[in-house]
């Protein structure tokens, strides 16, 4: 099983360059004053959120980030160059912990958010700074300071408004592909989606919301069946859940209960989120399909990604819920997302 939504990396900022010990040498001035320049600062290490990213998978292949040190100072008061900074791109929604203390350093939820995670060491001062009336020829300079280093534990909980939940093959990726610009892989076998996809759904002019498509879940996911429940962490912060069930399901009510059961095993709080049911693949539904009443307060929307049936109504309903314009009988519980 791939754990793409957590990763551990080591970051080390550069050390500062050494200050220089040097004395001015000019023609006719046999013994000039101290002119040793300062060392440059070591390179910093930054984290930066990149809305294009939806997994921490890249860190499986590269998990050490070491910035270079500052250049040492030189004679003639020449300051050494600073070491180049390293910027590490992470997805929005990355929670960063110090592995050693387990303390949360940051929850990077914004777009293009930057965080200085390891500070480069200051350069040492050159001997030009240490001359005094009684010590006109200091033969020493400061060393550079060490750059910070630490091991980070990162966990991703994607930032999205709507989370799609359903059995494999329910049509989650197909839905996100027709209502957003996301182009996920779609196929008629289970577990096509292995990493989450995010799509921006445009609604009228200037309005939009973000939808997350995650791998399918099956009965027993809590015990590790299928891809397990690890991806459910990505819907912990969504405002609402859309539960997708295919119209050709052998038992819609049972499928619904099974999904809720698995959600609850992962996090009871997920059941407190507002949710709706989307019956997909209506174009291949039996003529006499009867959609059972699952819950009287629940919106149930029949759609077909193929014919376009119900897509507009679904977008309307999603927008209403996401923008919080209507409140259902039960107030949406705060603090679970």
Ligand X SMILES: Nc1nc2c(ncn2[C@@H]2O[C@H](COP(=O)(O)OP(=O)(O)OP(=O)(O)O)[C@@H](O)[C@H]2O)c(=O)[nH]1
Binding residues vs Mg ion (CB under 5 A) = 172-173, 192-193
Q: How far is the CB of 327 from ligand X (least distance, A)?
A: 30
Q: Does 104 bind ligand X (CB under 6 A)?
A: no
Query: Measured from the CB atom, is 86 or 303 closer to ligand X?
Result: 303
Q: Does 310 bind ligand X (CB under 6 A)?
A: no
Q: How far is the CB of 252 from ligand X (least distance, A)?
A: 15
- Angle between helix axes 172-179 and 311-322 (nearest 10 degrees) is 90
**Residue of minimal Cβ distance to ligand X:** 216
Cα 51 to chain centroid distance, Å, stands at 8
Which of Mg ion, ligand X, none does residue 137 bind to, with CB < 5 to 8 Å depending on kind? none
Q: Does 76 bind ligand X (CB under 6 A)?
A: no
Which of ligand X, Mg ion, none does residue 170 bind to, with CB < 5 to 8 Å depending on kind? ligand X
Query: Measured from the CB atom, is 286 or 326 closer to ligand X?
Result: 286
Q: Does 239 bind ligand X (CB under 6 A)?
A: no
Query: Measured from the CB atom, is 140 or 191 closer to Mg ion?
Result: 191
Which of ligand X, Mg ion, none does residue 258 bind to, with CB < 5 to 8 Å depending on kind? none
Q: How far is the CB of 233 from Mg ion (least distance, A)?
A: 17
Residues between 316 and 335 that touch ligand X (CB under 6 A): none
Among 172, 233, 234, 275, binds ligand X (CB under 6 A): 172
Query: Measured from the CB atom, is 71 or 221 closer to Mg ion?
Result: 221
Q: Per residue, what are the HEC states of the chain?
A: CCCCCEEEEEEECCCCCCCCCCECCECCECCCCECCCCCCCCCCEEEEECCCCCCCHHHHCCCEEECCCCCCCECCCECCCCCCCEEEEECCCEEEEECCCCCEEEEECCCCCEEEEECCCCCCCCHHHHCECCECCCCCCCCCCCCCEEEEEEEECCCCCEEEEECCCCCHHHHHHHHCCCCCCCCCCCCCCCCCEEEEEEECCCEEEEEEECCCCCCCHHHCCCCCCHHHHHHCCCCEEEEEEECCCCCHHHHHHHHHHHHHHHCHHHHHCCEEEEEECHHHCCCCCCCCCCCCCCCEEECCCCCCCCHHHHHHHHHHHHCCCCCCCCCCCCCCC
Q: Does 116 bind ligand X (CB under 6 A)?
A: no
Spatial contact of 83 and 43, defined as CB atoms under 8 Å apart: yes
Which of Mg ion, ligand X, none does residue 281 bind to, with CB < 5 to 8 Å depending on kind? ligand X
Q: Does 171 bind ligand X (CB under 6 A)?
A: yes
Among 22, 49, 55, 304, binds ligand X (CB under 6 A): 304
Residues between 216 and 235 that touch ligand X (CB under 6 A): 216
Which of ligand X, Mg ion, none does residue 43 bind to, with CB < 5 to 8 Å depending on kind? none
Residue 40 neighbours by CB under 8 Å, 6+ apart: 16, 17, 70, 71, 72, 73, 79, 80, 81, 82, 83, 123
Which of Mg ion, ligand X, none does residue 145 bind to, with CB < 5 to 8 Å depending on kind? none
Query: Measured from the CB atom, is 43 or 171 closer to ligand X?
Result: 171
User: What sign has the CA pseudo-torsion 242, 248, 253, 259?
Assistant: negative
Q: Does 302 bind ligand X (CB under 6 A)?
A: no
Which of Mg ion, ligand X, none does residue 283 bind to, with CB < 5 to 8 Å depending on kind? ligand X
Q: Does 42 bind ligand X (CB under 6 A)?
A: no
Binding site for ligand X (CB under 6 A): 166, 168-174, 186-188, 190-193, 215-216, 280-281, 283-284, 304-306
């Amino acid at each position: 099983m791939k754990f793409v939504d957590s990763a551990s990396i080591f970051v080390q900022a550069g050390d500062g360059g050494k200050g220089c010990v040097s004395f001015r040498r000019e023609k006719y001035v046999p013994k000039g004053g101290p002119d040793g320049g300062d060392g440059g600062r070591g390179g910093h290490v930054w984290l930066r959120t990149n809305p294009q990213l939806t997994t921490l998978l890249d860190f499986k292949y590269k998990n050490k980030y070491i910035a270079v040190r500052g250049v040492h100072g030189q004679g003639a008061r020449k300051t050494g160059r600073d070491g180049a900074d390293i910027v590490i791109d992470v997805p929005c929604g990355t929670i960063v912990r110090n592995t050693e203390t387990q303390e949360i350093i940051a929850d990077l939820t914004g777009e293009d958010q930057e965080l200085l995670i390891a500070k480069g060491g200051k350069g040492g001062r050159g001997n030009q700074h240490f001359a005094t009336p009684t010590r006109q020829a200091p033969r020493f300079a400061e060393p550079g300071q060490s750059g910070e280093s630490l091991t980070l534990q990162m966990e991703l909980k994607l930032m999205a408004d709507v989370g799609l939940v359903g059995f494999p093959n329910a049509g989650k990726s197909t839905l996100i592909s027709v209502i957003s610009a996301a182009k996920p892989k779609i196929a008629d076998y289970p577990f096509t989606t292995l990493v989450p996809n995010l799509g921006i759904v445009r609604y009228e002019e200037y309005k939009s919301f973000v939808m997350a498509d995650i791998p399918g879940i099956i009965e027993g996911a809590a015990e590790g069946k299928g891809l397990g429940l690890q991806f459910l962490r990505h819907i912990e912060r969504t405002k609402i859940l859309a539960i997708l069930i295919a119209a050709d399901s052998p038992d819609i009510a049972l499928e619904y209960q099974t999904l809720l059961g698995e959600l609850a095993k992962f996090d009871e709080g997920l059941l407190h989120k507002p949710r709706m049911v989307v019956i997909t693949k209506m174009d291949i539904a039996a003529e006499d399909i009867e959609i059972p009443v699952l819950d009287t307060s629940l919106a149930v929307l029949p759609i077909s990604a193929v014919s376009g049936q119900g897509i507009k109504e679904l977008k309307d309903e999603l927008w209403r819920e996401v923008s919080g314009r209507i409140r259902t009988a039960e107030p949406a519980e705060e603090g679970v997302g």
